[in-house]
Amino acid sequence: MLKRVFGLPLQLTSKRTLSTVFYQRMSEQTATTPATPVADVPPQQKQKSGKGKKSKLQVSLKTPKGTKDWSDIDMVIREAIFTTLSNLFKKHGGQTIDTPVFELREILAGKYGEDSKLIYNLEDQGGELTSLRYDLTVPFARFVAMNNIQNIKRYHIAKVYRRDQPAMTKGRMREFYQCDFDVAGAYESMVPDAEILDIIVEGLTSLGINDFKIKLNHRKILDGIFQVSGVSDEDVRKISSAVDKLDKSPWEAVKKEMVVDKGQTEETADKIGEYVKLNGSLREVYDALSQDPIICANEKASEGLNEMENLMKYTEAFGIDKFISFDLSLARGLDYYTGLIYEAVTAASAAPENAAELKKKSKSSEDASEYVGVGSIAAGGRYDNLVNMFAQASGKKSGSQIPCVGISFGVERIFSLIKQRMTAADIKPIYTQVYVMAFGGGKDWTGYLPERMKVAKQLWDAGIETEYVYKSKANPRKQFEAAEKSGAPLAVILGKEEYAEGKLRIKRLGPEFADDDGELVDASEFVAVVQDKLSQVHEDGVNEVSRLIRGL
């Protein structure tokens, strides 16, 4: 990866000599200031204050644990991910909503199982107890119930908060973005569910991620398996959350949890063990289960199997079966799921093989990046009772249930994958197209600052990104350096005499145009010439950001 200062490839400094060719020829009035190094930005700019010194300081210059600032090209990449995903959601008929960052605490209560302890609480606000949202799903269900909405496809891109152990370089943070798409409304079995799976495939591939699989299971089938294995109904959720640990822990540990901590017999645990080992294509696992008389005799499991049969038709229509792995060990921790559940994983999702060892060796107790994986990069499921739960708990006489199904993309995790593949893409955090400069000299030389402002204003009024040096008299070298730093492809130059005669010079910037003196045009028509030249620049230009995002 190219080392960058302030979003600017360091190699640009080498181009400087090329531009000097131009400006030394361009005008006899050139100032005499000698070349100075580019760096008014010190090299340590991107470093944070040393952690060792903290104890001596009055104020810690840092962000709270598990949070970070985003800036520079990281921000450009993250915004490009947001744009890609919102366009995807719009493509599927989604409309967007926004809910407050904090909710009444009672809204979040009892929705997240064992993870409820990770919720951030605010101090009592004069009798109102509030907490930062833990996800976007519960606020969405609250919104649907509160407004008596019967059906909606909504997307929501916003921050959520979890007081978990952070692993920053793996994109596992305490403040992070979710990009959610959910379909609320009573529809035919598996029809919206299949579209959600298609959205996962479209979303990840459009972000250049192709080596993923969607692990998928059905809560009804899982509950059926627990029933036929001898788990009582009230134990189902806690056994489910034991199974959920199978992606991190070996079967023996999970079995121990079931038997020792959660009161199941050895036999029950072993029966569960046989089932949850099953995984393969939708068709394979479906066939295996539908030939199992015990499963077929269980009402819940057989309901789930019927739904899976529908799902197969639709995933075939979308041509997305190849991405799907029917995996009976997938349980998902959250309480509110009632049907299909799924998560998308890549090779980077898994923890390193020797995670336990690495954890012992890890020097940081603050960050788990050394020994955890990226985790799932998108996850979701069907939750048919959540809206109703709110409607009932609030005393609403809601007639019908509002079933929901949705998906949440983990942006920071996806970002960390995109950063890994990043090569020397020429991405800049600013969009400046024109740099306005003035060249002159002699005793009566004013530097043309108000004149540069007037010229810039005309360009702004035409919608063109324009900058100039904030200095009355700026020497040509400084102006060229600033222009190159900005990445602007064009300069508009006010030559001392030329401008006095109503002329402006328009010049392409960049090393390949160092010998080009540009074009002298009438001040009255310069905006049109600039627009014309910019459309030429962008005609053959490639958008480096989308190239990077799509992994090209």
Among 240, 369, 416, 466, binds a copy of itself (CB under 8 A): 466
Is residue 514 a contact point for a copy of itself (CB under 8 A)? no
Is residue 316 a contact point for a copy of itself (CB under 8 A)? yes
Segment 99 to 118, residues that bind a copy of itself, using CB under 8 A: 99-104, 106-107
Is residue 451 a contact point for a copy of itself (CB under 8 A)? yes
Tell me how far, at minimum, the Cβ of 117 lies from a copy of itself, in Å.
Answer: 12
Interatomic CA distance for residues 375 and 53, integer angstroms: 33
Going 193 to 199 to 202 to 208, the CA torsion angle's sign is negative
Is residue 12 a contact point for a copy of itself (CB under 8 A)? no
Interatomic CA distance for residues 12 and 115, integer angstroms: 49
Among 265, 460, 501, 538, binds a copy of itself (CB under 8 A): 460
Interatomic CA distance for residues 309 and 123, integer angstroms: 49
Interatomic CA distance for residues 44 and 33, integer angstroms: 27
Tell me how far, at minimum, the Cβ of 395 lies from a copy of itself, in Å.
Answer: 5
Distances (CA, A) of 230 to 265, 279, 339: 9, 22, 21
Tell me how far, at minimum, the Cβ of 477 lies from a copy of itself, in Å.
Answer: 18
Is residue 188 a contact point for a copy of itself (CB under 8 A)? yes
If you search the block for the tokens 């008596």, which residue do you land on? Answer: 148
Tell me how far, at minimum, the Cβ of 134 lies from a copy of itself, in Å.
Answer: 14
Tokens found for residue 433? 């197209």
Distances (CA, A) of 356 to 242, 245, 247, 257, 463: 19, 15, 14, 18, 56
Tokens found for residue 456? 């810039």
Segment 405 to 434, residues that bind a copy of itself, using CB under 8 A: 429-432
- Partners of residue 342 on adjacent β-strands: 216, 380
Tokens found for residue 300? 């819940």
Among the candidate windows 28-36, 58-66, 229-237, 371-379, which touches a copy of itself by CB under 8 A? 58-66
Torsions phi, psi for 340 (to 5 deg): -60, 140
Is residue 366 a contact point for a copy of itself (CB under 8 A)? no
Is residue 145 a contact point for a copy of itself (CB under 8 A)? yes
Among the candidate windows 128-136, 265-273, 330-338, 514-522, which touches a copy of itself by CB under 8 A? 128-136
Is residue 46 a contact point for a copy of itself (CB under 8 A)? yes
Residues with Cβ < 8 Å from 457, sequence gap 6 or more? none
Interatomic CA distance for residues 411 and 204, integer angstroms: 11
| Residue placing its CB nearer to a copy of itself in the complex, 158 or 358 | 158
Is residue 59 a contact point for a copy of itself (CB under 8 A)? yes
Segment 195 to 254, residues that bind a copy of itself, using CB under 8 A: 195, 198, 202
Among the candidate windows 207-215, 310-318, 365-373, 436-444, which touches a copy of itself by CB under 8 A? 310-318
374 and 346 Cβ atoms separated by less than 8 Å: yes
Distances (CA, A) of 337 to 162, 195, 331: 19, 18, 10
Flag whether 137 is marked binding: yes
Among the candidate windows 295-303, 355-363, 463-471, 505-513, which touches a copy of itself by CB under 8 A? 463-471
| Residue placing its CB nearer to a copy of itself in the complex, 291 or 470 | 470
Among 311, 464, 490, 530, binds a copy of itself (CB under 8 A): 464
3-state secondary structure of 185: coil
Q: How many residues contact a copy of itself, by CB under 8 A?
A: 115
Segment 470 to 499, residues that bind a copy of itself, using CB under 8 A: 470-472, 486
Going 22 to 25 to 29 to 34, the CA torsion angle's sign is positive
Flag whether 178 is marked binding: yes
Among 14, 21, 51, 69, binds a copy of itself (CB under 8 A): 69
Classify residue 51 by its DSSP letter. Answer: G
Flag whether 136 is marked binding: yes
264 and 301 Cβ atoms separated by less than 8 Å: no
| Residue placing its CB nearer to a copy of itself in the complex, 47 or 291 | 47
Interatomic CA distance for residues 324 and 326, integer angstroms: 6
If you search the block for the tokens 């009772």, which residue do you land on? Answer: 385
| Residue placing its CB nearer to a copy of itself in the complex, 238 or 419 | 419
Flag whether 162 is marked binding: yes
| Residue placing its CB nearer to a copy of itself in the complex, 325 or 432 | 432
Residue among 49, 92, 45 nearest 191 (CA): 92
Interatomic CA distance for residues 493 and 514, integer angstroms: 14
326: part of which helix (H) or strand (E)? strand 324-327
Classify residue 377 by its DSSP letter. Answer: S
Flag whether 336 is marked binding: yes
| Residue placing its CB nearer to a copy of itself in the complex, 62 or 213 | 62
| Residue placing its CB nearer to a copy of itself in the complex, 261 or 316 | 316
Interatomic CA distance for residues 267 and 259, integer angstroms: 9
Among 314, 323, 383, 526, binds a copy of itself (CB under 8 A): 314
Segment 164 to 183, residues that bind a copy of itself, using CB under 8 A: 175
Among 266, 454, 519, 532, binds a copy of itself (CB under 8 A): 454
- Known binding-site residue numbers for L-histidine: 135-137, 162, 178, 182, 332, 336-337
